[in-house]
Structure 1
Amino acid sequence: MHTFRSADLDETRQAIGESFYTTRIDPLGEPGEFESRIDTAHVGSLTVGDLVLGADLRMRFGELGHYHVNVLLDGTLAWRQHGRAEAVATPQRGCVLDPESVTRIDHWSRDCRLLALKIEPAALHRQLECLLDRTLRGPVDFTPDIDVSRGAGRSWARLMSWAVEEARDADGLPGHALMAAPLQETLLNGLLLAADHPYREELAAPAPPLRPAPVKRVLDLIHAHPEHTHTAASLAAVAQVGVRRLQEGFRQHVGTTPTAYLRGIRLDRVRTDLARAAEGGAAGTTVADVAFRWGFGHLGRFAAAYRDRFGESPSHTLRHPGPGSPHKAASSPHTAPGSPHTAPGSPHTAPGSPHKAPGSPRKADEDRAERIVPFRTAP
């Protein structure tokens, strides 16, 4: 664990910026005596901390870029994020901050001591996808406070406290390579079960029957790294069974083939990125950039698969921001990811339908594809 002590406000600001986020700190009233204590450690990709600043302060942050949870041991913390009213965190109610909002702490009380958890969005999203066994269609919108006075919230806060205390020991288990990943997973699982968010009820529902280990190994790999080059043979090697047996297992327990499932997950990731770019999240994004990023090497075939899955061209998604853009994602409960979405002869595939008319977005994508040499083979 890294330990920082200082009686200097600028040094404290710099220490918070190095371990957590860049901030501006202003004293409230006369500064008086000031002595900060900041202890931080890494648990996998997570950052945990125990912070005491010893003064009444106001703090300003930009967008955090991470999910962040504060569990207070003493004092109070008055805070707000863009578009939300001011809230006050106490030892009974912690706070959960989202990655994409400008953040303010209007009053860090002199007696405030808190445990902090900084979470990479990708790590949280991967963990939730593994628990749900499907792809997310956007960020996780947590309720901004978490009850740590009882039930699951209190259990999770105790787990946080244990992780921080154990991290103080250089020879303790949290610092061991064999323990870091399981402990990170436990902290994320606990938060997802204790905090309020749109997926909580689904997590609390009885789990479906377990899939066979070979199938689950492949599903875990696909969800973790859909952008990698995968073949039927390489997936079978991960499953530790033959290709034919893996395909039979997928048809029985997932309802589609491994390569079709992989293609569906990739398409869902593309759609999420395009929708985010359309809403202003990534200026200069192109369909080709996003398609290649997620493992599609032939834009024509990609555009056709995208239209079949979502009923519109990828360029249309990129040009038309709006709520619910991934509304037709194949990860809906009615259709297994990667399975067909339109029957032969449906409006999306009927001869002469507007989707295949010359000059349509799909035709433009296909024309561009002829000028691009595929560098990665999609299943």
Structure 2
Amino acid sequence: MGDVVNLVVVGLGLVGRRHADAIKRLKGVRLTGIVEPNLTSEDIYDEYGVPCFASLADLFALSKPDGVIVATPTPSHVELGLEIISNGCAALIEKPLAVSSVEAENLVKFAMEKQVPLLVGHHRRHNPLIKKAAEIISDGEIGNVRAVHANCWFYKPDHYFDQAPWRKHKGAGPISVNLVHDIDLIRYLCGEISTVQAQSAPSQRGFENEDVASVLLSFENGAVGTVTVSDSIVAPWSWELTSGEYPIYPKTSQSCYKIGGSHGSLSVPDLTIWKHGTERDWWSPITATSIPREASDPLDNQIIHFAKVVLGEEAPLVTGLEGLKTLRVVEAIGEAAQSNSLIKINDFAELHNPDDVTSVHAVTA
């Protein structure tokens, strides 16, 4: 990557700061501004040495960056994304892409019509261990995927909710807040999800939302899956505590995903393949092989990838359409938990999003 790509970060909360800090230390990219109405220009310049803008309008009135990273609360994603794309600027928007798939579809279609890159910050796909897992599966190492189980159990302390009371309200439970990450990886590794069923239980802390849910998935390729998620279970089995991706979480030696195939099984993130010997036979010895992989910060990898997309050197790994598909599944899970019914993803998409986004993507990709 010979050229330097100029990037701007919108929103300087915890995630926004991680993006800004990464851009400052990475080669090939340059932080040229920050959009943050709640901080002074002096504060931003003292910390990052770049100008601070109160709005995107102020930014685009004075400069034209190559790409903009949006790390603001989800309700503002679509409005900001539309403004960025209107200015012909590539956008990387944190997940989830929008509050609803209806809003997300409008943004995705607009980006496709303008032929401006729109990426979604599902950064876990940029983790080398996930790339290796995808390679193992696509190379047929475990045969055809037949089943997957994901465990997403962790305990959020009371002060987590007290610091941001919106986390106690309906729609802010672990289905919508946390499961979007895991559903995206399940789609990436195991294929498109065709139907969902779900059960949830009310928060034992007395909040409006659920604090535990169980999900049954079926896939277009014939596989099935189960997922359980809770923010009120003390356990070592979650991506946060098993992947070592973010040092603020204490790492355990466990795995949170188990992917079963016709010739073997794979656990993630420890990347252990389980196989019988010459015969697939439950009476035959079964062996475990740990697969080596590189280690690097997926957030850094995502920014480098974003820059390469801007330069036309790579196709987006997580397009706006990918973010939309993941959001549709999570929404369907929430609806299934409320209605205790089986939800077909295609029917759900047609009901809530009557226009065909896929056909637009096929034309402009």
| TM-score normalised by structure 2 residue count | 0.24
Structure whose residues are more often strand by fraction: 2
Which gives a bigger RCO, structure 1 or 2 (Cα 8 Å, sep 6+)?
2
- Give 1 or 2 for the bigger CA radius of gyration: 1
